[in-house]
Amino acid sequence: DTGVSQDPRHKITKRGQNVTFRCDPISEHNRLYWYRQTLGQGPEFLTYFQNEAQLEKSRLLSDRFSAERPKGSFSTLEIQRTEQGDSAMYLCASSSPDDAGNTIYFGEGSWLTVV
Amino acid sequence: AQTVTQSQPEMSVQEAETVTLSCTYDTSESDYYLFWYKQPPSRQMILVIRQEAYKQQNATENRFSVNFQKAAKSFSLKISDSQLGDAAMYFCAYRRIGNMLTFGGGTRLMVKP
Chain A residues touching residue B42 (CB < 8 angstroms) = 108
> Which of A45, A103, A107 is facing B100, going by the closest CB pair?
A45
Q: Look at A108 and B91 and tell me if their CB atoms are within 8 Å.
A: no
Given this model, what pLDDT does residue A62 score? 87
As a whole number of Å, the end-to-end CA separation of chain B is: 41
Phi-psi region of B7 (alpha: psi -120 to 50; beta: other; left: phi over 0): alpha
- At B41, give phi and psi (nearest 5°): -55, -25
Q: Look at B44 and A102 and tell me if their CB atoms are within 8 Å.
A: no
DSSP H/E element including B42:
none
Asked whether the beta carbons of A34 and A77 are under 8 A apart, the reply is yes
Q: How far apart are CA A80 and CA A16, in angstroms?
A: 7
Given this model, what pLDDT does residue A60 score? 80
Per DSSP, the residues of B14-39 read ETTS-EEE--EEE-S-SSEEEEEEEE
Given this model, what pLDDT does residue A21 score? 98
pLDDT, block means (10 residues), chain B with 113 residues: 90 97 94 93 87 92 96 97 96 84 95 96
User: Could you tell me the CA-to-CA distances from A111 to A57, A79, B94 in Å, in that order?
Assistant: 21, 13, 25
Given this model, what pLDDT does residue B75 score? 97
Of A37, A38, A108, which to mutate for an interface test with B (greatest number of B Cβ within 10 Å)? A37
Q: Look at A43 and B105 and tell me if their CB atoms are within 8 Å.
A: no
B44 interfacial to chain A (CB closer than 8 Å): yes
Q: How far apart are CA A109 and CA B43, in angstroms?
A: 8
Chain A residues touching residue B43 (CB < 8 angstroms) = 89, 108-109
Q: Look at A103 and B102 and tell me if their CB atoms are within 8 Å.
A: no
Nearest 5°: CA angle at A55, between A100 and A28?
45
CA B77 to chain centre: 5
pLDDT tens column, A45-66: 999 999 999 988 888 888 999 9
Q: Look at A101 and B42 and tell me if their CB atoms are within 8 Å.
A: no
* 3 state DSSP class of B9: coil
Q: Look at A105 and B47 and tell me if their CB atoms are within 8 Å.
A: yes
**Confidence grade of residue A77 (pLDDT, cut at 50, 70, 90):** very high
At B18, the amino acid letter reads T
**Confidence grade of residue A101 (pLDDT, cut at 50, 70, 90):** low
Given this model, what pLDDT does residue A100 score? 52
Mean pLDDT of A88-110: 85
Of B4, B44, B90, which to mutate for an interface test with A (greatest number of A Cβ within 10 Å)? B44
CB atoms under 10 Å from CB of B82, counted, come to: 21
Given this model, what pLDDT does residue A98 score? 63
Mean pLDDT of A101-112: 87
Q: How far apart are CA B90 and CA B105, in angstroms?
A: 9
